[in-house]
Structure 1
Amino acid sequence: MSFRFSRNELASPPSSSAEHDRARSVSIGTLAAAFCVGGVVALIALSTARTARAQTGAGPADGAPLMRAPLQVVAPVDLKRYAGLWHEQARLPNRFEKKCVGPVTAEYTPQEDGTVQVVNRCGLADGQFDEVAGSARVVPVAGQPGAGRLEVRFAPAWLSWLPAVWGDYWILKLDRDYQVALVGAPNRDYLWVLSRTPKLDEATLREQLEYARSLGFDVDKVVRTGETVTTAR
């Protein structure tokens, strides 16, 4: 930028210079006023758009996840009646049972300290059986004494203080005779249909799965126990 003045500018009379300054001030004032008015109009438009969007409600197109109702558990559940041997009939694929291709059972035994001993057993491809023992504990639910909400741990007992070693075990459906149970997790990634009998009739199994579907579980991914599973979480 140059600070030199041209000869014509130096020769201009004072009155011309004053008029030039006034004209320049008017122009600047006009531009400033226009800028302010434009800013106000833009703010009004932005505010109107935000209000309209808020009233419309967010959907999948807005990047907002679809909300599902929280799962409810059976209450009350008599753990002494629930104890004993259960046969798995169907499940959502999971990493814990990726090698299970044969019968799967779970046996629950109440302990004196209020916990429940858990022993899971499943058939492998070579005809052998895999067995793992763990422990379950009741999770209190406010206003629902004896609610069927438990946590299961298969890690060593000395790691039981770690929240990460406990998995959710929610009893979502249970018949009055304690013969058929639907068990899942609140994130809907895990689901099991259990029965006292080794083979549950097809109509009852479908009823359990349709109920699970109504709760938001991806029943289309469910496998029947004994089928080969190639995918797992």
Structure 2
Amino acid sequence: MKKTLILLSLILSACMAKMPANMQTVNGVNADQYLGTWYEIARLDHSFERDLEQVTATYSLRNDGGIKVINRGYDIKTQSWKSAEGKAYFTEPANADGTYKGQLKVSFFGPFYGAYHIIALDKPQYNYAMVTSGQAYLWILSRTPQLTYPIKQELMAQAKALGFATEKLIFVKQANQVEYEAGRHVVH
């Protein structure tokens, strides 16, 4: 039990680590527009999403003004759906125009919170986003199950410039995904 608590403390410390100086969060995030379902396009590997495909994050408003988070994915090893429910809150008060700085704290268990930093966002449409909680964690999200190749490349270039190990990105399979193979689009 003691080892588990120590490990949990180390993981939480890593999640709450300060962002590097060269990394800025997006300002002017419209919370209402950010709500809804996001598809996970790519991520850096970590144990809590290992073997998951068709991963989505759905955000909705909580009664206390926070954000309800439901992460869902299909575990290819157990052939079953997994989900986790959490809560998130912006860490700074709203700007004068009602928007926020893209820094949130998120919790999936008890009083323990991890960082959630929006470091890229397609404004004003909110079609894609790039999120991190420090150098070891990175997610590329989209409102649709896939992103066009040029946008993926642009986000990966931004991530690489910020020091992320983009060569270790895992591209998440989504249902009915169209892939570009051997000069043609293929539906899987």
Bin of the TM-score, shorter chain as denominator length: 0.7 to 0.9
Identify the match of residue 172 of structure 1 among 119, 130, 147.
119
**Contact 1:79–1:110, Cα closer than 8 Å, also in 2:** no
Name the counterpart of 1:108.
Answer: 59
Residue 129 of structure 2 is matched in structure 1 by 181
Structure with the larger RCO, 1 or 2 (CA within 8 Å, 6+ apart): 2
Q: Normalized against structure 1, the TM-score is what?
A: 0.61
Query: For residues 64 and 34 of structure 2, what CA distance do their matches in structure 1 show?
Result: 17
SS at match of 1:216: coil
TM-score, L = length of structure 2: 0.75
Instruction: Give distance in 2, aligned partners of 1:84 and 1:193.
Output: 16
Give the letter aligned to residue 203 of structure 1.
P
Q: Tell me the percent identity.
A: 34
Say if 1:112 and 1:70 are closer, same or farther in 2 by CA, change over 3 A: farther
Give the superposition deviation at 1:130.
0.5
**What's 2:159 paired with?**
212
The match for 1:123 is 74
Hey, what's the Cα distance between the residues in 2 that align with 1:181 and 1:111?
22
Name the one with the larger helix percent: 1
Is 1:148 paired with 2:96?
no
Question: Would you tell me which structure has more strand in proportion to its own residues?
Answer: 2
Change in 2 beyond 3 A, CA 1:207/1:141 = farther
Alpha-carbon shift at residue 213 of structure 1 (Å) = 0.9
Shift of 1:127: 3.2
**Conservation of the 8 A alpha-carbon contact between 1:73 and 1:173:** yes
109 and 143 in structure 1: CA distance in 2 versus 1, 3 angstrom threshold: closer
Question: Are the counterparts in 1 of residues 94 and 100 from structure 2 also a CA contact under 8 Å?
Answer: no
In the alignment, structure 1 segments of 5+ residues that lack a partner are 1-67, 228-233
Aligned length: 151
Letter of the aligned partner of 1:194 in structure 2? L
Within 1, Cα distance between the matches of 2:173 and 2:44?
13
Q: Deviations over 1:9-44 (max 9, x none)?
A: xxxxxxxxxxxxxxxxxxxxxxxxxxxxxxxxxxxx
Equivalent residues of 1:140, 1:149 under 8 A apart: yes
Residues in 1 aligned to 2:42 and 2:157: alpha-carbon distance in whole angstroms: 13
Question: What is the CA distance between 1:226 and its match in structure 2?
Answer: 3.0
Task: Please report how far the alpha carbon of residue 69 of structure 1 lies from its aligned counterpart in structure 2 after TM superposition.
Answer: 2.7
Is the CA contact (8 Å cut-off) linking 2:129 and 2:140 kept in structure 1?
yes
Deviations 1:201-222 (A, max 9, x none): 1221111111111111111111
